[in-house]
Amino acid sequence: MSFDTVIMVDWSGGRDRGATPKKDAIWTCIARDGAAEAPLYHRNRQVAETWLRDTLAAELAADRRTLVAFDLCFAYPAGFAAQLTGSDDPLALWDWFADRVIDTPDANNRFTLAGQINALFPGTGPFWGNGRPGHDVDHLPRKGRDRTGHGLPEHRATDRAAPGAFSPWQLSGAGAVGGQVIMGLPTLARLRHHFGPDLSVWPFQSPDTSIVLAESYFSLLPARLLTDHPIRDAAQVSLYARAFSALTDAEWRTVLAVDPTPEGWVLGLGHAALLQKAANPVLTPPPLRNDCFAMPQGAHWTPVDQALAHLQSHLSSVTGTEDIALAHAAGRILAAPVTAARSHPPHANAAVDGYAFAGPLPEGSHTLPLHPGRAAAGQPFAGTVPPGHAIRIFTGANIPAGTDTVVLQEDTTAGAAHIALHGPLKQRANARRAGEDLTAGEAVLPARHRLTPADLATLAACGTAQVTVHRPLRVGVLSTGDELRAPGDPATDGQIYDANRAMLLADIARWGHQPIDLGIAPDDRPTLRGILDAAAARCDAILTSGGASAGDEDHMSALLQGTGTLALWRIAMKPGRPLALGLWADTPVFGLPGNPVAAQVCALIFAHPALALLAGANWPTPQGYRLPAAFTKSKKPGRREFLRARITDGAVEVFPSEGSGRVSGLSWATGLVDLPDDAARITPGTPVTYIPFTSFGL
Ligand code: AMP
Ligand code: MG
């Protein structure tokens, strides 16, 4: 019952939309086995119909059973068809429309035709809505409430069961679907006649043909499952195509088991959970809780470790998951543990080039007769070696039946029919046991682990071709400040170049997330608000720099304050002023200080582990090393200090200036010295903790 190919179609009742992909146009997407191709844009119905006909012909020729679902009512509420065609058969109504609709890329008669249909019914209606201001259409009221006495129901039974479904009588206004139904049925009729007995229309006909047409509805699944395609229609066809194409045979039977009512039915209606599971085998996690950044605020400054512990216990993964090919999985985070599909090695094999025989061999010299044939990697010896015989074998070859031990070729003298060698040799010497590395069914890697290049080798070796990983975390970076200019732009005396954005975007890329450049925002609240709104829709997390303190010009913290989720973290740390943390439309925002040195140190200490959790990974604790200091410092108690540092001759040197505006010190350094909260007196030779930047994932 299942389908090899699913094609999802978002139809449109409007005019030609031009060459560049746009919203509210026709979009299609092809999916097979739960994987969707890129969505396709069709500028008008003529182009789309040709594409559908050609694509279906190709699927038919390739012997792939295909389901095409349209977001288009396949029938009208009861009583309508009979009045026009004398029959309740919705397919006869399709032909009726095909005969009367006039359609070119630039003009069509949908409003006039709707008026003509209204004239066939008593009273006023059922169609209403007029897309042409100032141009009245005979018998077509402008408002829904102007209709009376037409005698038809507003909705079909399936629309009443589908939350938010629009009435097919409404021809204009936001969300109206009436126009696209009138402008879609003729295409459906022509496809049906073109493919004849190879095509059926669900649920009116039994869906046991190579091509099945059905109507669906793009509000069956939660919007958060949509991909981040900038055009919603494209994201929708992609999601629904993927979900339907992942249904199993049994699931298809469930979804298709609907009584063949002449009003039709929305495919998938009532099966949202099933589709959601198909679209997304591991469910997308819920958004973060509103109070995730709320720390008990006192008069005291919060120690760094306490702030970190808070982040660690309050943040969790916000990304959904996907199945991807192993070859593309380096750097991705496992969403599910991987178990070995196969043992490694799958069979006992030779660790060296030499001769295989049945061990052990006692002390002394031996001569073993050579058995004809050879065993090489990929070319196993098919027979059994008789007791007391040896056979030529090469590294990686399966150990032949009748043998279990290998002697190194350099330790033998080989004649034409015999080899001579010295004992003793232990049983199974120079042979690798089957499964000695990994056994089938054994846990190889846990969930939350970020895949390294070596992991790809391990997983490939035990037969893994696909892994379930978290979708990459999309992290936006925004610089704020009226004084900022992008490098390359002209700048006056009062202006400085934006140093933070390039640095933070590069941090994010190094951490394996997807950086999104949000540009520079002025110190102006309405503008900043608009930028954050747009950013929250595209990003899973946002890093901003500047404006995070509590002053008049600190607009980031003021805006986050307005969401009710702001927590201004006063952290006992140098460098770093308050950190503004909050949620903007469910999206976590990390408001970092503006000073580049403080911005980077706060990013490394706080954003790095926090983003790892949001991305679905484990909390990373940076590995530090105890090394002798090469500097002198008296440190005050009550705050943690991070100094820019590097190693010279095995000792830790620090940047001469602690000024947090000295960005060049970040380039000079290869890591940070981490000085604890307490007071400290450091002189050359005092052990200090040095954390290289690589320990922060850079
Ligand atoms: P703020 O946190 O906005 O008060 O900024 C603190 C200091 O950092 C000021 O001197 C700003 O000019 C500077 N600053 C803020 N953002 C940036 C940036 N993106 N690049 C370089 N300097 C910055
Ligand atoms: Mg500022």
Q: pLDDT tens, 79-99? A: 999 999 999 999 999 999 999
CA distance 543 to 604: 12
pLDDT digits (tens, 9 = 90+) for 529-564: 999 999 988 899 999 999 887 777 888 888 888 776
Band (pLDDT 50/70/90 cuts) for residue 396 is very high
User: Ligand 1 pocket test: which of 480, 484, 493, 497 has the largest number of ligand atoms within 8 Å of its C-beta?
Assistant: 484
User: How far away, in angstroms, is 524 Cα from ligand 2 center?
Assistant: 11
Residue 616: exposure state from Cβ atoms within 10 A (0-12, 13-18, ≥19): buried
State the pairing for strand pair 625-628/687-692: antiparallel
187 lines ligand 1 (CB under 6 A): no
Output the 3-class SS for 398-428.
ECCECCCEEEEHHHEEECCCEEEEEEEECCC
Q: Is the pLDDT of residue 576 over 80?
A: no
Q: Kindly give the interhelix angle for 272-279 and 232-245, rounded to the nearest 10 degrees.
A: 100
State the pairing for strand pair 514-521/321-325: unpaired
CA distance 573 to 40: 52
Q: Is the pLDDT of residue 225 over 80?
A: no
596 lines ligand 1 (CB under 6 A): yes
Closest atom of ligand 1 to CA, residue 499: 20
User: How far away, in angstroms, is 479 Cα from ligand 1 center?
Assistant: 8
Percent of the chain residues past pLDDT 70, beyond the cut? 98
* pLDDT value, residue 257: 93
H/E run at residue 212? strand 211-215
* pLDDT value, residue 228: 61
* pLDDT value, residue 100: 97
Q: How far is CA 109 from the centre of its chain?
A: 42
Q: Please compute the mean of the pLDDT values over residues 577-604 and round it to a whole number.
A: 90
User: How far away, in angstroms, is 613 Cα from ligand 2 center?
Assistant: 29
User: How far away, in angstroms, is 549 Cα from ligand 2 center?
Assistant: 9
Q: Is the pLDDT of residue 104 over 80?
A: yes
User: How far away, in angstroms, is 598 Cα from ligand 1 center?
Assistant: 10
Q: Please compute the mean of the pLDDT values over residues 312-324 and round it to a whole number.
A: 88
pLDDT digits (tens, 9 = 90+) for 598-624: 999 999 999 999 999 999 999 999 999
16 lines ligand 1 (CB under 6 A): no
CATH 3.30.530.20 assigned to 309-314+472-614: no
Query: For residue 413, what are the CA distances in angstroms to 354, 375, 423, 605?
Result: 11, 19, 13, 64
Question: Which protein residue's CA is at the shortest distance from atom 23 of ligand 1?
Answer: 594
Band (pLDDT 50/70/90 cuts) for residue 283 is very low
Are 128 and 169 within 8 A, CB to CB? yes
Closest atom of ligand 1 to CA, residue 483: 12
Q: Is the pLDDT of residue 298 over 70?
A: no
Q: Is the pLDDT of residue 297 over 70?
A: no
User: How far away, in angstroms, is 547 Cα from ligand 2 center?
Assistant: 4
pLDDT digits (tens, 9 = 90+) for 436-494: 999 988 889 999 999 999 999 999 999 999 999 999 999 999 999 999 999 999 999 99
Q: Which ligand has the shortest distance to the CA of 594?
A: 1
Closest to 165 measured CA to CA, from 266, 23, 274, 28: 266
Query: For residue 477, what are the CA distances in angstroms to 209, 489, 528, 607, 662?
Result: 52, 19, 13, 12, 21
Band (pLDDT 50/70/90 cuts) for residue 299 is low
Residue with tokens 């543990």: 337
Q: Which ligand has the shortest distance to the CA of 500?
A: 1
126 lines ligand 1 (CB under 6 A): no
481 lines ligand 1 (CB under 6 A): yes
Contacts of residue 555, Cβ cutoff 8 Å, sequence gap at least 6: 480, 523, 524, 525, 528, 547
Band (pLDDT 50/70/90 cuts) for residue 280 is low
Question: Which protein residue's CA is at the shortest distance from atom 16 of ligand 1?
Answer: 594
521 lines ligand 1 (CB under 6 A): no
H/E run at residue 51? helix 45-61
Closest to 322 measured CA to CA, from 301, 338, 309, 336: 336
Closest to 377 measured CA to CA, from 352, 357, 358: 352
Average pLDDT value over all residues in the chain: 92
503 lines ligand 1 (CB under 6 A): no
User: Ligand 1 pocket test: which of 595, 597, 600, 663 has the largest number of ligand atoms within 8 Å of its C-beta?
Assistant: 595
Q: Is the pLDDT of residue 144 over 70?
A: yes
CA distance 682 to 698: 28
Closest atom of ligand 1 to CA, residue 593: 2
CATH number of 625-696, picked from 1.10.287.1080, 2.40.340.10, 1.20.1250.20, 3.90.226.10: 2.40.340.10
Q: Please compute the mean of the pLDDT values over residues 2-7 and round it to a whole number.
A: 95
Point out which residues pair with 32 in neighbouring strands: 35
Contacts of residue 369, Cβ cutoff 8 Å, sequence gap at least 6: 388, 389, 390, 417, 418
Which amino acid, residue 551?
G
Structural domain boundaries of the chain?
A: 5-72+194-279, 80-87+101-184, 309-314+472-614, 321-343+437-470, 349-432, 625-696
* pLDDT value, residue 527: 92
CATH number of 321-343+437-470, picked from 3.90.105.10, 3.40.30.10, 2.40.37.10, 3.40.50.300: 3.90.105.10
591 lines ligand 1 (CB under 6 A): no
Are 75 and 168 within 8 A, CB to CB? no
550 lines ligand 1 (CB under 6 A): no
* pLDDT value, residue 198: 97
546 lines ligand 1 (CB under 6 A): yes
Closest to 640 measured CA to CA, from 555, 564, 591, 576: 576
Q: Which ligand has the shortest distance to the CA of 520?
A: 1
Higher-confidence position of 694 and 310 = 694
Q: Is the pLDDT of residue 314 over 50?
A: yes
User: How far away, in angstroms, is 324 Cα from ligand 1 center?
Assistant: 41
Question: Which protein residue's CA is at the shortest distance from atom 17 of ligand 1?
Answer: 594
Superfamily of domain 349-432: Molybdopterin biosynthesis moea protein, domain 3. (2.170.190.11)
This prediction's pTM: 0.63
593 lines ligand 1 (CB under 6 A): yes
Query: For residue 145, what are the CA distances in angstroms to 127, 142, 184, 359?
Result: 11, 9, 26, 95
576 lines ligand 1 (CB under 6 A): no
User: How far away, in angstroms, is 594 Cα from ligand 1 center?
Assistant: 4
547 lines ligand 1 (CB under 6 A): yes
Question: Which protein residue's CA is at the shortest distance from atom 6 of ligand 1?
Answer: 594
Closest to 241 measured CA to CA, from 4, 519, 561: 4
Task: Indicate the SS3 state at residue 649.
Answer: coil
